[in-house]
Structure formats: structure tokens, C-alpha cells
Amino acid sequence: MKKNWLSYPYLLWMVLFVFFPLLLVFFYSITDRTGEGLRFTLAHFRRFMEPIYLKVLTRSVKLALISTVLCLMLGYPMAMILAGNHFKRKNIMIFLFVVPMWMNFLLRTYAWMTLLERKGLINTFLSWLGLNPLNLLYTEEAVVLGMVYNFLPFMVLPIYSVLSKIDKNLIEAAGDLGANQFTVFLKVILPLSLPGVVSGITMVFMPAVTTFVISRLLGGGQFTLIGNLIEQQFLYAGDWSFGSAISMVMMIVILLSTSVITKYEKENEGGGLW
Amino acid sequence: MVKKWPILLLITLVLTTVLTLSSCGQDNRVVLNVYNWGDYIDESVINEFEKKYNIRVNYDTFSTNEDMYVKVKSGGSNYDVLFPSDYTIERMVKEDMLLKLDYNNIPNAQYIEERFKHLDYDPQNEYSVPYMWGTVGIIYNKTMVHEPVTSWRILWDEKYSKQILMLDSQRDSIGVALKMLGYSMNTLNLEELEAAKQALIKQKPLVLAYVGDDVKDKMIAGEASLAVVWSGDAVYMKWENPDLEFALPEEASNLWFDAMVIPKSSKHQTEAETFINFMCDPEIAFKNADYIGYSSPHREVQKMIDPELLADPTAYPADAMLESYDIFHDLGEYLKVYDRIWTEIKAH
């Protein structure tokens, strides 16, 4: 295909705001500013290999994985309900699902704080029932809850859009050929919906593994994630080189995990996010 | 319906452009960029300044000295007045980041008490005019803590597990542990720092959260029993919730000063000095002190302020008591050690 002049603005945009910043991050991550000037070094990456930073990385990946699995478990049935025909007010449902996303993400997270607090709504209700108040806020579970709540729409919407495009004749044909509902789901619906699942997983995992606001607000600064570490290097310690090195490692982790899942997806045919 | 969209879009675009352009045209006042701590001013004072001097103020806030320092140091910002603390001023002077003040433009500086001048961080008083001062102590809820609070050790008492709030600020939190162990808050001794680190790691399971300005809301709402806070915030919290009381531990603590400085990147030194002078005006300084509850180094303010507050050791502790208190010094190269320790505690 010949290059269209329409593509140039996009190309320029990509170079200016994607390629160039990435190059800068890479440059910072392999250099060190000393009194005599710039020096190339891999020390920042070596520093990241220390147990303390690896511990933060494992914690981030673990929490992001848990959140992604939970989102999938909650999101897939939700998407099926939305895509199903038996539901009359489907559009209202989808609308209600998207409305919270119009609100600022920080506000939604702050709202959870007032719900989970020791004197918050949930604990007030529990003590009204005569139960002991629970320690809900500032726990690892609260961080996972925040991630699932904030990123669930990113799981539901891609799966929903794939499910609603499945040719209904295929399902009917499977039924005519004697498959029961479970077999239809397993052999027809599930394989056809995989592209949506893959982009859902990627779209939840990526923000979850890099978040720093949720872990600070709902985790009370006790569960340092990789995002918090990067933020600290840039805003607090002023060590841009180490911050860039962590960012590079993070990008590699994301790239690897998504390419694994996309490879699996390719073998099963269909387009994903890539 | 579909065809109307481009026209609508065009109209909106034209309108917004016209509106922004015209509003720019009307306002040719000098813009002064002020960078202060959050919750640290009576904001009506800014409007008064704008009206009186016909200068527009662009007011922005930070939550730790380190945030502010990194932002100013990395360039790209054009702040005219900053409000850093003692040790950060020391660092900025060392790194030649501040302008020398012209006191002819700041006649109101005469009202600052002598004991707040010529301090270690600015011995010649060339760069800074004090704004507020205070200490660091423990605020506690009398309905939850039924014993006298006399020592930092109470923050390590398992009785108060998950009821303790610590400051999410490395110098303050490591400083608390150092003082608890009987060391200086400015120590450069690696063994002492290691001991402080171990103490804070041991304390971590008892800590409910590491917080910033939200400590005020949490303590007022009764979410926790004990918290490490700056004295001025304690005054405000006691106003809001009478169950709260403030204690200065017997092992001594930190004495701090926040002062107004002008960074070298400022393009409006005279206007910035006018602003500093305005902040030192007795009426204005009183308004700020009265509004935020912090202790003022201003002689006239202390005459105007509520006698009850002046008698309260939370805000105005006795001089003799403060003698053993540490004022933070710039750590220089050791900042990295502190930073590393803090990361290890938080990531643990």
C-alpha cells in the first residue's frame, strides 16, 4: 500500500510523544551524571537486581495477577449477561456500567476509603448488626479491591464487544447438532471470545502492575509497588536514571507477559491488541 | 443530525479560542508563581495581595520538601517564592539555588523575633525570612489511650497495633526512631541508622498507615489512636476534636522552621520581595497564623493571638525545653543512605 499523506500527522505524533520519550527513558537508564559529565553504566540495572527491589517487583506482579484473575472471573459472566438476548434493558445496563468511568479515578478511589474506614459505612453497618468492626482499609486486600473495581470495565467491554459479534447461527447450529448448553459454551462461545479475553487481560494487567495511587491510598503506603518505587525516584529522590531503569525493566516485564499471551492467542487464530 | 457535528465543533473551537485570547489580552499584570506547603495559608490573603499590588498570583502546593526541591532543581518551573524548611534551605544555599534578598524591599522583616534570625541554615540571614516554626510530637486520642504519653516508645507498644499513623516523610520518621534510640536526628553514623531502620521495620506491623496531610482527617475522625504530627497541625486537630491531645516526648524531638526564599530561576525578584514583605505585615501574618494554627515567629502576631493558644505548649513550648531539640541539617551525600533505608522499610 502506498503511504497516504494522512498518516504523516500520526507518524509525527508517534515520533514526538512515543518514540522520543522512550528513547529518553532508555538513555537515562544507561547513563550516570557525575561531576565530569555523562558516563555509560549498567549500574542502575544491577541495583534493581538487589533482593529488596525484586521483592517489590514480585509483589507488584502478584497483586496485578490476582486482580486480573478476579476481573476475568467477574467480568466474563458480566459480559455474557450484557451480550445475551434475554436481557431487555441491555443498553441501560451498559450505560450504568460505563457511568462510573466518567468520574475521576482518584475520586472513586477516595470514595472507597470512606467506605472501608474503621468508622466508615461498612463498619458502621457491621456494628449496627452487632458484629465487630473489621480492619478493611490499608490492607493488601483493599489494594486488590481498588484495582479490581477500577479496572473491571477494561475487562468487560472488550469481551462484551467480541461476544455480541458472535454469529448466532453458529450457536443455533451447535444446538441443532445435539450439543447441550455447556458444550456450546465450551466449544463455540469460549474459543470465539478469546481475542476479547486476551485484550481484556492485557488492559487490566498493564495498569494494575504499574499503579501507584491505589497502593498509596488504599494500602496506606505500606505495600510499595513498582509504580511507587518509580514515583519515588523521580519526585522524591531525584534519581532519574534509576527511575528510568526501573521503568525499562517494567516495560520488559509487560512486553514479555503480553507476548506470551498473544502468542498463545495467535495459535488459536484471531486478532488481539497487537 | 450527523452533518451538524463538524459545524458545532468548529463553533466551539472558535469560541474557546476567542475567549482564551481575549482573557489573555485583558490581563497584563505580572504573574508571581508561589509554591507553598498544602494547607499552609489563609487563601484570602492571596486575593488581598493581588488587589493591593495589581499582581496576579499563581499559587501551587507541595507536600514534602523533597518534592519541592526536585521540582525546582530539575528546572522547567518558574517559581518566584518558595517555603522550604531549614535543612532544605541549607541545601539550596549550598547548591547556589537561591537569590540574596534585598531587605530594603522587606521592611516588615523587622517584626521577626531575634531568636529566629541567624540560624544555622542561613547564618547571615541573606536568603530567607521565617514564616512558621514548630516541633514534631505525638497526637493521641484520649478516649483510646488511657496512659500518659511521655515517650516515643509508645509508638512501639503492641497494645496499639494497627492504631498508629506515621508520617510518610523519610527524615521525620527515621528521625523519630533515632530519637527513640537516643541518637541525633542528624546522625551520619551507619550503625545508628541501621538500628533506626531495624526499629522501624519492627514497628511496621503495628502501623496502620504512612500518611501525609490526610493524618489530620484521620485523627479528627477517630480512625487511629496515635500519630506523629507537626505541632501546627496538632493545634488544628485539637480545635476540631477536643478528644485529641498533643505530647512532646521526653527524648526530645525535632525543631523546625519554614521560611520564604526566592529561587534563582525567578524573573520577578522585586515582586517576590513585595510578596514576602506582605506576608510579614502584622495583620496578614496574624491572619495566616490564626487560620492554620501554626506558631508564628512574628513579634506582633504573638501580641494579637488568642492568649489561650499562646499559653498552649503545643504551639508555643517553653524555650528551655527546646534547647535539647535537633534542627535538621542537610545530609549531603548521606541523603542516599536515608533514602535507601526508607525504601527498605516501606518495601519490607
Is the predicted pLDDT of residue B131 greater than 70, yes or no?
Answer: yes
Q: Judge: B347–A236 Cβ closer than 8 Å, yes or no.
A: no
- Tell me which chain B residues have a C-beta less than 8 angstroms from the C-beta of A234: 70
Confidence of residue A271 (pLDDT cuts 50, 70, 90): very low
pLDDT tens-digit readout, A69-117:
999 999 999 999 888 766 677 788 888 888 888 888 899 999 999 899 9
Between A122 and A93, name the one with better pLDDT.
Answer: A122
Burial of A141 (0-12, 13-18, 19+ CB in 10 A): middle
Asked whether residue A35 is assigned to any structural domain, the reply reads yes
Residue A94, domain CATH: 1.10.3720.10
In percent, the amount of chain B with pLDDT more than 90 equals 73
B64 touches chain A (CB under 8 A): yes
Residue B152, domain CATH: 3.40.190.10
B343 touches chain A (CB under 8 A): yes
Q: Judge: B209–A220 Cβ closer than 8 Å, yes or no.
A: yes
State the nearest Cα–Cα gap between A129 and chain B, in angstroms: 20
pLDDT tens-digit readout, B34-88:
999 998 999 999 999 999 999 999 999 998 898 899 899 888 788 999 999 999 9
Confidence of residue B9 (pLDDT cuts 50, 70, 90): low
Q: Judge: B222–A117 Cβ closer than 8 Å, yes or no.
A: no
pLDDT tens-digit readout, B140-179:
999 999 999 999 999 999 999 999 999 998 899 999 999 9
Asked whether residue A13 is assigned to any structural domain, the reply reads no
- Tell me which chain B residues have a C-beta less than 8 angstroms from the C-beta of A56: 347
Asked whether residue A18 is assigned to any structural domain, the reply reads no
Which grid cell is B218?
484521620
In percent, the amount of chain B with pLDDT more than 70 equals 92
Is the predicted pLDDT of residue B197 greater than 50, yes or no?
Answer: yes
- Tell me which chain A residues have a C-beta less than 8 angstroms from the C-beta of B224: 118
Q: Please give the pLDDT value at position A258.
A: 82
pLDDT tens-digit readout, B85-127:
999 999 999 999 999 999 999 999 999 999 899 898 999 999 9
Whether B191 and B213 share a structural domain: yes
Q: Judge: B162–A236 Cβ closer than 8 Å, yes or no.
A: no
Asked whether residue A15 is assigned to any structural domain, the reply reads no
Whether B145 and B246 share a structural domain: yes
Range of the domain at A250: 25-267
Asked whether residue B4 is assigned to any structural domain, the reply reads no
Between A107 and B2, name the one with better pLDDT.
Answer: A107
Asked whether residue A12 is assigned to any structural domain, the reply reads no
Is the predicted pLDDT of residue B1 greater than 60, yes or no?
Answer: no
Q: Judge: B162–A232 Cβ closer than 8 Å, yes or no.
A: no
- Tell me which chain A residues have a C-beta less than 8 angstroms from the C-beta of B346: 221-222, 224, 228
Number of domains in chain A: 1
In the A/B pair of chains, how many CB contacts fall below 8 A?
Answer: 61
Helices A51-83 and A90-98 pack at an angle, to 10 degrees, of 160
- Tell me which chain A residues have a C-beta less than 8 angstroms from the C-beta of B207: 220, 222
Whether B108 and B186 share a structural domain: no
Is the predicted pLDDT of residue A22 greater than 50, yes or no?
Answer: yes
Q: Judge: B70–A235 Cβ closer than 8 Å, yes or no.
A: yes
Is the predicted pLDDT of residue B303 greater than 50, yes or no?
Answer: yes
Confidence of residue B12 (pLDDT cuts 50, 70, 90): low
> pTM here?
0.84
- At a CB cut-off of 8 Å and minimum separation 6, what does B167 contact? B173, B210, B211, B212, B215, B228, B229
Q: Please give the pLDDT value at position A273.
A: 44
Q: Please give the pLDDT value at position B26.
A: 56
Whether B57 and B180 share a structural domain: no
Q: Please give the pLDDT value at position A94.
A: 82
Asked whether residue B19 is assigned to any structural domain, the reply reads no
Is the predicted pLDDT of residue B5 greater than 70, yes or no?
Answer: no
Strand partners, B68: none
State the nearest Cα–Cα gap between A73 and chain B, in angstroms: 29
Range of the domain at B196: 134-254+325-347
Q: Judge: B344–A238 Cβ closer than 8 Å, yes or no.
A: no
State the nearest Cα–Cα gap between A75 and chain B, in angstroms: 31
Number of domains in chain B: 2
Residues 194-233 of B with CB under 8 A from A: 204, 207-211, 221-224
Q: Which residue of A127, A138, A226 to mutate against B (max B Cβ within 10 Å)? A: A138
- Can you tell me the mean pLDDT for A39-43? 88
